[in-house]
Structures are given as C-alpha cells and as structure tokens.
Amino acid sequence: MGSIVTRIFWAADSTVQTNDITTYPQTGIGQVFSLYTRDGVTVSNHAKNGRSTKSFMDEGRLAVIDEQIGEGDFLFIQFGHNDEKSEDPTRYTEPFTTFMENLETYINVARKHNANPVLITPLERRCFVDAKHLGMGAHSDYVAAMKQTAEKNQVPLVDLYSMSRSELKKAGEPDSRKWYMYFDEKLYKNYPEGKKDNTHLRYEGAVFYAGLIAKGLRELGGIYNDLLLDETKVNE
C-alpha cells in the first residue's frame, strides 16, 4: 500500500514558473519550492510567464487544475504583476472588482474539490529610488484587494509582498541584485551587458523567496505547516 501524496498546485506568473534552458538562469519560486517540502508532498507548478488572473483563466490553465486537483490538495494562488497592466486588455483587471472576482473563482475551484486554497500576495520588484530606499512599487492596490478577498472568503494568506519589501529594504539596492535577473557583467551569452531586470528571479532569489513563503506557511500552522520539512531536522 503506497503512501498518500499531497499535491500543491500553483497558479501564478513568471515569478513562480518552472523555467527551462531557453530562459536560463531565470528560476521561479515554484521551481524550487520542493526544497522546503516534506516527503509525500509534490509541487504541480502551472505558473506561466506573463499571465494574470484573467489570461490564466482565458487560456484554460485554471480548467486544467480543475480537472486534476483533488481532496486534501492545495491551490496556491499568486498574481498581481500582470493584472496591473492597464495597457493590455487581455490581462488587466481592476483591483477591487474583477481581480477580486477572479480570485474568488480560483478559491471556488479548490473548494469544490475539498482542496485548500491559499492566497499569496505578489513578490515586490526591485523598485529602488536610490541605493537604500525602496519606492512604492505598483502592487499596493492588488495586495489590499487580495487581503480583502482572503478575509471575505476566510482563506489563509501568505503576505509575500510585505516580507519581500522588508528583505529588499534590509539588503539595499546593490546587495539585492543577486536575487534578480539583474546583470552588471556579461555573465551569460544570452543576456547583454548591464541588463536590468528587476522582476524575474535567478536561483538564489527563487530559493530565498520560497523560504519566505515557507515561513508564512509555518506561521499559519496546522495543515499548512505539515507541508514543510521539520525545521529541527534541516541541518541534520
């Protein structure tokens, strides 16, 4: 008789997606999250570059999750970066109306299968205004809307946005470059010298921010903490 497998399904954007050699060394949070999970937990990462709550659904990606997710599984819902693109009607959602409505659709997909939805606020960009001070960024309304949705629907929330802003402020502009696809030198042939990508992550950043999500799950406790490695055994 085999052991029971718990699955984490992830609906999200490029900050979470699993990358291949064509986007190397870009790395998504969902790509490395299994570093933090216990035996018997698998990650089914459906995150895709450039998607919003709207375009993810319109392309049938939520429908695929709907077909596969089951009782006791988890649906991690992490959007915001592309919902805010007002210039693109295929992706844009208004934070306090369509964005919240879409999030509720994702929540309902999980709940109808007796799975467990978790809302995760969007990762902050490296929006520094100088070497030490982080700017306002563009996520704030979407973070507030997600928090309202979590409260209204009694869904647990991991506030990656606030945690990532705190860590970016502590690191400062120069020292935070190592987490993102921001290159000071021509380290990789596919990336021009001085490329400044303040949104997408490289391996170090994906592992670091995945750890913040794990921290948020530990703080939720119960079944959410049970997804994770026993931290007392991490260094054994």
Active site residue 193: yes
User: pLDDT of 177-186, one tens digit each?
Assistant: 999 998 755 4
Look at the block and give the residue holding tokens 């205004």.
129
Strand bridging mode 180-182 / 74-78: unpaired
Domain count, the chain: 1
- Integer distance in angstroms from the first to the last C-alpha of the chain? 29
In a domain, 74, yes or no: yes
pTM of the model: 0.93
Active site residue 139: no
Q: Is residue 1 part of a domain?
A: no
Q: Helices (DSSP H) in 154-202: which residue ranges?
A: 160-176
What is the CATH number for 24?
A: 3.40.50.1110
Residue of 3, 14, 59, 219 with catalytic role: 14
Helix (H, G, I), strand (E, B) or coil at 58: helix
Determine which one of 87, 185, 193, 236 is catalytic. Answer: 193
Domain limits at 202?
A: 6-233
Q: Scan for tokens 């429908």, then name that residue.
A: 63
Whether 14 is catalytic: yes
Nearest to 105 by CA among 53, 61, 67: 53
Residue 133 included in any domain: yes
The alpha carbon of 23 is separated from its chain's Cα centroid by a whole number of angstroms, namely: 18
44: tokens are 């089914």
| 116 found inside a domain | yes
6-53 residue pLDDT tens: 999 999 999 999 999 998 889 999 999 999 999 999 999 999 999 999
**Closest listed residue to residue 218, CA positions, set 18, 38, 4, 10:** 38
